[in-house]
Amino acid sequence: MVQKERFEKIKSDFPIFKRKIHTDQKLVYLDSAATSQKPEKMIQAMDDFYRNSNANIHRGIHELAEEATGLYEDARLRIARFLKVEDARQIIFTRNTTESINLVAKAWGSTFLQKNDLILLTRLEHHSNLVPWYMLKEAKDLRISFIEITSSGELDLVQYAALLEQKPKLVAFTHMSNVTGTINPAQMITKMAHDAGAMVLIDGAQSAPHFPVNLTEIDADFFAFSAHKMCGPTGIGVLFGKYALLEQMPAFLGGGDMIRKVTFEGFSANAIPYRFEAGTPSIAEGVGFGAAIDYLESVGMGAIAEHEQELTRYTMKVLGDEKGITIVGPDAEKRGGVVSFSMDGIHPHDVAQILDSDGIAVRAGHHCAMPLHQHLNLPATTRASFYLYNSIDDIDALVRGLAKVRKVFA
Amino acid sequence: MDDLYREQILDHYKNPRQKGQINPSDHSFEDENPLCGDFLHIDLKTDDQGVITDAKFEGHGCAISMASADLLLESLIGKTMDDTKKLSKQDILEMLGIELSPVRLKCALLSLKVTKAAAYDLKEADDDLME
């Protein structure tokens, strides 16, 4: 009950909900899988950094520089703790999930993969966990195979087991699909890959924000995610990598901060994690990310997951009862807070446009997963995605909005 | 929104006048807008003087893209191929009579791109045709 009351008040933690859409409409934000809204506490932490602590980090012997470095490095520690990672040196700051995956493809893939080596991906992946591997495939003449999905949008683990017999070098998969909402059994997939001698990269862009993730238990070699989908700022993300692997990898980008020593003849690379953090990083964003983690932990990741599960169950029930609506993906119990659907005879762009006129923000299109939509024989879908600040009222507004869509196109 | 989905647009979307195929056609072209999944194929029939005697389309997409195709092809009958080549973005916007955001502009202009590519008998269309 205490928890229920807490969630009823959460919208007031996010200043954006004070504004109106199209002059007088309340904002019903159902697009958190694209990016989340930002709590006052995170915005304040960044504002406070620029007002009171701003300096460059890892250099400069002055109070501000030391303070800024402390704040930035403290965020790294908090992120490590958030993911149950013991050694915070394994947390590398990047720009976003996409850059994290590219870092692995470039620094690990280009170094350790040879011609004809096999990479396994899944049919659920979005573009950022496809294109870096396609590029690596072309550069190194590799092979890529796909783990298939069942009709309900879950990974086919029997077919996966068969693919593992071909001894892939890497299995890269999404922890949670941004289209079907499917939560993949990350620990089991990782264990199977390791038993077959393959490395594992998990795209955690949709998982880290929405439910507790324990990287020690999952045991993945790499895990990538972004701050902006979890109440943090844009422009900063994380790559987790196991220390022993990171140590063997060459630098990714060259510049300041990633070097130990530079001469006119060459350079020697810095220690982990700095080797992979060339140039002045997004310092205020790092501080904001730390504040976002604090905020999420103050609510509780388990509680957030439960709240989203309740919203998802409710949405699937009410939309499932509507005629002419087809929901993509598995049952509520097997998915996170994402519900993509199609409406008979009405294009998702038209659905989204009419919903927008009532202040309801959803995503329409292929959600950066064009191949998956082709695979499901859908040109596009409309997607409602939830976060801690959503309520049953938001879903009811969506249902009323969809009734209006149907009326316009009747 | 009420403006965007005004009666004329919804009417052309729900009851298209020019839907279908012309076989054989004199000029045809098809293209897609991969970002939205919209697809459009058009056929044009012309007489000896290059006057368009019939124009048909097949496709799928949002109301704006489909209504735009239907309105455009309807307006082309009786016009010449030269008129078609001279069509501009402004003509489409005036024909639709609605204000469009940059994203929805792409929906509205797919028909322009495909029609001009057909008029020029191009093998591949580029976005310059939407200007």
Which domains does chain B show, CATH number per domain?
7-122 (3.90.1010.10)
Q: By CA distance, what is B100's nearest residue in A?
A: A353
CA distance A70 to A65: 8
Q: Do B37 and A365 touch (CB under 8 A)?
A: yes
Q: Tell me chain B's radius of gyration from C-alpha atoms.
A: 13
Q: By CA distance, what is A374's nearest residue in B?
A: B37
Q: Do B39 and A373 touch (CB under 8 A)?
A: no
Portions of chain A given CATH number 3.90.1150.10 = 2-30+301-408
A231 flagged as catalytic:
no
Q: Which of A368, A370, A378, A399 is catalytic?
A: A368
Full strand arrangement of the beta sheet holding A118-122: A91-94, A237-241, A222-226, A199-203, A170-174, A118-122, A143-147
Question: Using an 8 Å Cβ cutoff, are A339 and A384 in contact?
Answer: yes
A vs B: CB pairs below 8 A: 47
Q: Residue A397 carries which side chain, given as an amino acid letter?
A: A
- Count the alpha carbons within 13 Å of A332 in the hemisphere toward its beta carbon: 17
Region label for A359, one of left (φ > 0), alpha (ψ between -120 and 50) or beta (otherwise): left
Q: Do A353 and B107 touch (CB under 8 A)?
A: no
Full strand arrangement of the beta sheet holding B27-33: B27-33, B38-46, B52-60
* pLDDT-derived band at B18, boundaries 50, 70, 90: very high
Listed in sequence order, the residues at least 6 apart from A167 whose beta carbon sits closer than 8 Å to its beta carbon are A118, A196, A197, A198
CATH class name, domain A2-30+301-408: alpha beta
Q: Tell me which residue in B36, B63, B64 faces A380 most closely, judged by beta carbons.
A: B36
Give residue-wise pLDDT tens across range B83-92: 999 999 999 9
Query: Which residues of chain B from 57 to 86 reach within 8 Å of chain A, CB to CB?
Result: 60-64
Predicted pLDDT at A365: 84
ipTM: 0.87
Portions of chain A given CATH number 3.40.640.10 = 44-298
Listed in sequence order, the residues at least 6 apart from A317 whose beta carbon sits closer than 8 Å to its beta carbon are none
Nearest-CA neighbor of A391 among A35, A37, A29?
A29
Nearest-CA neighbor of A85 among A204, A179, A167, A177?
A204
Model pTM?
A: 0.93
CA distance A106 to A233: 25
pLDDT in single tens digits along all 410 residues of chain A: 467 788 889 999 999 999 999 999 999 999 999 999 999 999 999 999 999 999 999 877 899 999 999 999 999 999 999 999 999 999 999 999 999 999 999 999 999 999 999 999 999 999 999 999 999 999 999 999 999 999 889 999 999 999 999 999 999 999 999 999 999 999 999 999 999 999 999 999 999 999 999 999 999 999 999 999 999 999 999 999 999 999 999 988 888 878 888 888 888 888 899 999 999 999 999 999 999 999 999 999 999 999 999 999 999 999 998 889 999 999 999 999 999 999 998 999 999 999 999 999 999 988 778 888 888 888 789 999 999 999 999 999 999 999 999 999 98
Range A44-298 has CATH code 3.40.605.10: no
Q: Which two tokens stand for residue A261?
A: 């020593």
